[in-house]
Amino acid sequence: MTKLKLTGKELRAIGYPEAPVISIAMNLMQKHYKHEAKEDVMELLKKILAAPIEYENDAVLGLIAQQLIPEKDTGGAEISLNQNGIRFNIFGQEHIEEGALHQMYQAARLPISVAGALMPDAHSGYGLPIGGVLATDNAVIPYGVGVDIGCRMCLSIFDINPKELTDKESFFARELGEATLFGSGAQFDRAANHEIMENELFYELPLLKNLHGRAWKQLGSSGSGNHFAEFGVIEIAEKDAVLGIDAGKYVGFLTHSGSRALGANIANHYTKLAISKRRLPQEAKNLAWLSLNEEEGIEYWKAMNLAGDYAAACHHVIHEKIAKQLARKPLKRVENHHNFAWKEQWEGKEVIVHRKGATPAGKNVLGIIPGSMTADGFIVKGKGESAAVNSASHGAGRKMSRTKAMASVTDKQFKEELKKFGVKLLGGGLDESPFAYKNIDVVMQSQKALVDVVGKFTPKIVKMSTHAGTDRGGAKHKIWGKKGREEVAGE
């Protein structure tokens, strides 16, 4: 029987709003109703949309219904946006879509906004655009951080001759397949051990307590969409004092993923709270904030930082597995968040800097900016440019939506592009093809004033989710913990 496939376009056609409820509904229905007839599923989705309160307490459908139930009117006056807003700099404006510019101008009009910038890989998101940087006064915007809290890059550099990636391709491909699970609902049968799961917040906040078990079983997994794990060639043209690696070529292992279901649940819970407390105009409601002087804001800040630490732990679990299989310790590990908020100094005052799809680029701060599955990525060193609020892009940035990419790119074109660049792809799909992304070299040219390039990463063996749902590779996945190595089947 054919498995259920839904698209955002189909949900919007039956009246679903342009909001996170679309991705939530798609993921839940494709997971829990995957063998049901599509027309039956669409009819059920229509019923939920028409009367969400009737499904509010359903174990599965309630997650969709809760996104559709109107927020209760708190009785407070609507907060007006400032007439003009703060001034902010735009990098690579000629390559940024109008929707992202509009969202950034809207964010600049918030009464809490202090400073901002828009990165050259920017495109539309929920609330703050992807590639948007916004500094605020003692307030945090959950959708200014993003749904995938702590989404990040992590790179291990190994002193291995890159020729081995070709000579032992099957070995490296196998290790990629066994290092992590991909897919929006992916969980391990046996959880890895890591101190992050003993964090006291899991036992203090009711929301986190309920998420603890699932978070543990997702520790070391990688999600779907544009998340990946890949081997490639690292090229260092000359030794940089901060990076500290001699000029030459090395093997790099690069991962991109975030805080999985933990971060998504934190984001959605506190966004609803923020929207209920701050009555903004309808078009700006996803920019609702929580003050760091109020209980909900303090809770979100703690939960956000936990999600960021959890995301880092996921990467570290994966990288330690790979290092063990390679029987090498990395010469260097470079990593950075790009969906997060930080307390930083701005013109002598502490502010909250949101970087939603943007890389921290303070003076001499290292980071990784990837291209696509065939395009080079770059190890960069920040210049501390105040015009960009000490930030840079988080990647090449999409130029096509997933739907458009799948409709306009053929399998033949996709395979020819992979062959042209000598990339072996495990999983992945047309929605993540190189054609869906902007030219990374143009993006890097647009931010020469923001970062120095200190190394280059060229992808060679790339592992991604088979599609936007769960990983169906059927491979077994290894877990290492205090009790040694276990093997468990992937979802």
What's the CA gap between 28 and 26, in Å, rounded? 6
Q: Assess whether pLDDT exceeds 70 at residue 166.
A: yes
The string of DSSP letters for 196-248 reads GGG-THHHHSHHHHHHHHHHHHHTT---STT-EEEEEEEEESS--TTT---SE
Q: What is the pLDDT of residue 449?
A: 97
Residue 13: CB atoms within 10 Å: 10
- % residues pLDDT > 70 (the chain): 93
* pLDDT digits 0-9 by tens, 383-403: 999 999 999 999 999 988 888
For 95-99, 148-152, 231-235, which range has the lowest pLDDT when averaged over its residues? 95-99
Q: Which amino acid is at 81?
A: L
pLDDT at 86: 95
Query: How confident is the model over 203-228, as pLDDT tens digits?
Result: 999 999 999 999 999 999 998 889 99
Residue pair 359/327 in contact by the 8 Å Cβ criterion: no
- Cβ 153 vs Cβ 368: under 8 Å: yes
Q: Where are the domains of the chain?
A: 8-68, 152-489
Q: What is the DSSP letter of 58?
A: -
Using pLDDT thresholds of 50, 70 and 90, give the confidence band for residue 76.
Answer: low
Structure tokens at 323: 């290092």
pLDDT in tens, 132-164: 999 999 999 999 999 999 999 999 999 999 999
- Give the residue-averaged pLDDT of 99-124: 95
d(CA 305, CA 291): 16
* CATH numeric code, 152-489: 3.90.1860.10
Rg (CA), the chain: 22
Give the tens place of pLDDT for each residue, 355-372: 999 999 999 999 999 999
| Better pLDDT: 485 or 311 | 311
**Mean pLDDT, the chain, as a whole number?**
90
Instruction: Count CB atoms within 10 A of the CB of residue 206.
Output: 8
